[in-house]
């Protein structure tokens, strides 16, 4: 029997470590609101990420940079109310931790106290070392994020695959080992060569969650709206669509409009 399928009332960071030890893959999806969180939690997802991708998906921004800490807390509050089993991880948004370790700790404490989330996630390796140390020292679990880091989009200027060159690949491996040594319970590796991601997963004891990082990772994460086909114009190679909800919702709304215009809705069975 899988670790996650035992009589587990709540997924914890310890359970995730046991899953890696036993070779059980970890499933992770994003959620930004109560309704979606409840559905994917009921389906049995292991981790729900309240991602700063809400900036793109929910608010229509081109990047993740505009979303604020207050907005992230609002989304996280909504998600936590819909979850009974999954571990809820909340992104520290751009500007909430880069200034100094004290700012990073203050932001993390606000997320934990005000949202009820279970852990925070932040991007970077050596450059965020002191912030990770401060956050972990306060008792807050931290998930790292390496590879393509969307909050640094203007530094790199592109969303292309990262760590293809030897120097960057070696730095990524070094950063992964550093984050593990500091006490991070897991890492996200985004859009890097599959062989490199597999090497990292084998070189650390903590779970490696991939997005566009191949099958050698200990788990996978996708944006729920992408997986469900709500964001119809997003077609990266790493994305597998499991539904076409854009078409389903559009057809349903079109049918509703037709029924309203024709006078078919409401009928005598749909009134008081």
Instruction: Look at residues 223, 222, 169 and name the one whose alpha carbon lies nearest to residue 193.
Output: 169
Note if the bond before 266 is cis, omega within 30 degrees.
yes
Select which of 106, 165, 190, 215 is catalytic: 190
Q: Residue 47 belongs to what H/E stretch?
A: strand 47-50
**Residues 228/243, Cβ–Cβ less than 8 Å:** yes
How far apart are the C-alpha atoms of 258 and 78, rounded to whole Å?
Answer: 33
Cβ contacts of 239 within 8 Å, gap of 6 or more: 222, 226, 227
How far apart are the C-alpha atoms of 213 and 108, rounded to whole Å?
Answer: 27
For residues 55, 61, 62, 65, the Cα torsion angle rounded to the nearest 10 degrees is -50
- Whether 180 is catalytic: no
Q: Residue 260 belongs to what H/E stretch?
A: helix 245-262
Which amino acids are annotated catalytic? 190
């Amino acid at each position: 029997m899988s670790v996650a399928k035992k009589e587990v009332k709540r997924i914890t960071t310890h359970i995730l470590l046991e899953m890696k030890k036993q070779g059980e893959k970890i499933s992770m999806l994003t959620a930004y609101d109560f309704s979606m969180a409840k559905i994917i939690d009921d389906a049995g997802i292991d981790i729900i990420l309240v991602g700063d991708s809400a900036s793109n998906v929910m608010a229509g921004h081109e990047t993740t940079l505009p979303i604020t800490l207050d907005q992230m807390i609002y989304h996280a509050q909504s998600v936590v109310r819909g979850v009974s089993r999954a571990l809820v991880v909340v992104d520290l948004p751009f500007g909430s931790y880069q200034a100094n370790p004290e700012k990073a700790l203050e932001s993390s404490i606000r997320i934990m106290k005000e949202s009820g989330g279970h852990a925070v996630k932040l991007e970077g390796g050596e450059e965020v070392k002191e912030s990770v140390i401060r956050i972990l020292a306060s008792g807050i679990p931290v998930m790292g994020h390496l590879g393509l880091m969307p909050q640094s989009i203007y530094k790199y200027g592109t969303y292309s695959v990262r760590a293809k060159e030897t120097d960057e690949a070696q730095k990524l491996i070094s950063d992964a080992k550093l984050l593990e040594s500091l006490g991070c319970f897991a890492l996200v590796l985004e859009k890097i060569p599959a062989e490199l991601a597999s090497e990292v997963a084998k070189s650390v004891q903590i779970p490696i969650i991939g997005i566009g990082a191949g099958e050698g990772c200990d788990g996978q994460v996708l944006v729920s709206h992408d997986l469900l086909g709500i964001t119809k114009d997003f077609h990266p190679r790493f994305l597998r669509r499991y539904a076409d909800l854009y078409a389903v919702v559009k057809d349903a709304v079109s049918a509703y409009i037709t029924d309203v215009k024709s006078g078919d809705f409401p009928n005598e069975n749909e009134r008081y």
